[in-house]
């Protein structure tokens, strides 16, 4: 590999000859050989958006030479379009606050701008400087929290779409399964009847409630503190810079952004990202519960509940022929556990801020983007390859219900709780039906029993055997 020499405040540094990044990025690569991971595209896109907007605003304020600003804007636009992704090479586990990530963007944009202006990467006279021009009126301390917010908002429509599709698929199954009456279960024990459609309608609403939480938390991510520079005072930034940046980033991102209202708070406080993370954690709690129910309801099939059948998408065993496992539900479990672990890291990192800055922002950024990435992929796969293909096993579901001694609960208002308990006990001991025992004991006639324990009616609430008030 051939190299060129780049200089920074610490001296000279060998950099790969064709790399768009410079000495500070190369130092970070050498200093932090931790995970082998690279920044998520959302983080790169968002930081490039900040650089583009800053060049535009500083040009319009008369602070940045238009020729240089236009080259910076063109270079940033290339990154926003997805080019040069291989140039963003700093490990997420890096120096605090995200200085290395910020300089990676500054150096790539500066060198690409110099190329646009006709200068070679190793030309000592190249005019665009990563600190003086690309980073003008900025600090790592205000650009990184801004990029965290922008990156999450950039992927928000994908996450919203994935969750919405899941809710819609569950709602469609709720309608399809509405006439399948089955045994309810509490404490994993038999309970009064429910309809399979009612179970699925509850899943759908729970997912929609979580989506509402995500959208509410995302609204707070629209508050930007760009322009606070190093500590929130705005040193080295024009007095109009902050508001102009909010407007420029709103136009560039297509997002309704607003000022944080206090630039000091924006650097100290990571509560908004932590809240957004927590909203995704809450979704994962729901997803885990739904995935677990899918696994239970499809268990067996010969020796389990077998009330629903999941699509067979791959063989389930390397040794047992014919075995098919609930692999999409298992995948969703694992993805949900991973995302909840990311949230723990964000929670710990958010509380680790000290005085004027939270220096744990790089791992907050990485985990937020990881959470969104994993959720989008796992939810889409679960919806498309599992939920839409779920079928009801009516015969098994209704067969379990017929054996459920808890049906006697519907008779309580007429025969009393103690008589009902005695009937249920005898039914479980003898294998007789509830109807047979109630009639034998002379508690009710057969016709009365049939009317009171009509399974579909029992799923609709009310007091059996007592007419509603007119």
DSSP H or E run through 66: helix 66-80
Helix (H, G, I), strand (E, B) or coil at 16: strand
d(CA 373, CA 117): 36
Degrees to nearest 5, angle at CA 230 with 229 and 234: 40
| Residue 247 pLDDT | 98
Q: Which of 35, 233, 317, 445 is catalytic?
A: 317
Tokens 């089955």: give the residue. Answer: 182
- Phi, psi at 309, each rounded to 5°: -120, 125
Contact between 60 and 386 (Cβ < 8 Å): no
Ranges of the chain with pLDDT below 70 = 464-470
Greatest CA span in the chain, whole angstroms? 105
pLDDT of residue 470: 38
pLDDT tens digits, one per residue of 1-43 = 899 999 999 999 999 999 999 999 999 999 999 999 999 999 9
Q: 303-313 in b/e burial notation, b at 16+ Cβ within 10 A?
A: eebbbbbbbee
The CA R_g of the chain, rounded to the nearest whole Å, is 31
How is 246-273 classified by DSSP, letter by letter? HHHHHHHHTS--EE-S-HHHHHH--HHH
Nearest Cα to Cα of residue 340 among 379, 363, 374: 374
Q: Indicate the pairing of strand 308-309 with strand 258-259.
A: unpaired
Listing DSSP states for 210-224 in one string gives HHHHHHHHHHHTTEE
Of the candidates 365, 464, 455, 299, the one whose C-alpha atom is nearest the C-alpha of residue 97 is 365
CA 10 to chain centre: 40
CB 138 within 8 A of CB 53: no
8 A C-beta contact, residue 263 and residue 245: no
DSSP state of 61: T
Q: Is residue 43 within 8 Å of 91, Cβ to Cβ?
A: no
Distance of CA 50 to the CA centre of its chain: 24
Active-site residue flag, 317? yes
pLDDT at 270: 98
Closest CA to 273 of 101, 51, 102, 46: 46
Name the phi and psi angles at 322, rounded to 5: 85, -5
Q: Three-class SS of residue 316? A: coil
């Amino acid at each position: 590999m051939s190299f060129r020499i780049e200089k920074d405040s610490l001296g000279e540094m060998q950099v790969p000859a064709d790399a768009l990044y410079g000495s500070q990025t190369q130092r970070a690569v050498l200093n932090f050989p931790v995970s082998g991971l690279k920044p998520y595209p959302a983080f790169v896109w968002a930081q490039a958006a900040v650089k583009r907007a800053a060049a535009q605003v500083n040009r319009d304020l008369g602070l940045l030479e238009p020729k240089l600003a236009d080259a910076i804007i063109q270079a940033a636009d290339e990154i926003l379009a997805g080019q040069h992704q291989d140039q963003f090479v700093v490990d997420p586990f890096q120096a605090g606050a995200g200085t290395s990530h910020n300089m990676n963007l500054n150096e790539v944009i500066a060198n690409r701008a110099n190329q646009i202006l006709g200068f070679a990467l190793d030309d000592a006279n190249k005019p665009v400087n990563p600190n003086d021009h690309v980073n003008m009126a900025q600090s790592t301390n205000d650009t990184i929290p801004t990029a965290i917010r922008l990156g999450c908002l950039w992927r928000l429509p994908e996450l919203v779409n994935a969750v919405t599709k899941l809710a819609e698929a569950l709602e469609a199954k709720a309608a399809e399964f509405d006439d399948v009456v089955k045994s309810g279960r509490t404490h994993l024990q038999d309970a009064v009847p429910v309809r399979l459609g009612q179970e699925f309608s509850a899943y759908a609403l729970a997912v929609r409630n979580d989506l509402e939480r995500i959208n509410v938390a995302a609204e707070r991510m629209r508050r930007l503190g760009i322009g606070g520079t190093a500590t929130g005072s705005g040193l080295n930034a024009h007095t109009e810079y902050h508001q102009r940046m909010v407007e420029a980033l709103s136009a560039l991102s297509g997002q309704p952004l607003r000022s944080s209202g206090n630039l000091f708070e924006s650097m100290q406080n990571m509560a908004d990202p932590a809240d957004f993370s927590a909203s995704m954690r809450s979704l994962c709690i729901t997803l885990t519960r739904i995935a677990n129910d899918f696994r239970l309801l499809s268990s067996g099939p010969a020796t389990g509940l077998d009330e629903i059948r999941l699509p067979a998408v791959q063989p389930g065993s390397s040794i047992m022929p014919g075995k098919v496992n609930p692999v999409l539900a298992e995948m969703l479990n694992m993805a949900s556990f991973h995302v909840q672990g990311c949230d723990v890291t964000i929670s710990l990192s958010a509380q680790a801020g000290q005085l004027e800055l939270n220096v744990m922002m790089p791992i907050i950024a990485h985990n937020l983007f990881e959470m969104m990435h994993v959720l989008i992929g796992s939810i889409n796969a679960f919806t498309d390859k599992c939920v839409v293909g779920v079928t009801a096993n009516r015969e098994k579901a209704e067969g379990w219900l017929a054996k459920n001694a808890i049906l006697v609960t519907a008779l309580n208002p007429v025969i009393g709780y103690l008589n009902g308990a005695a009937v249920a006990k005898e039914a479980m001991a003898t294998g007789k039906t509830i109807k047979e025992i109630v009639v034998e004991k002379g508690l009710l006639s057969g016709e009365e029993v049939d009317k009171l324990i009509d399974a579909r009616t029992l799923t609709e609430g009310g007091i059996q055997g007592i007419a509603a008030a007119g």
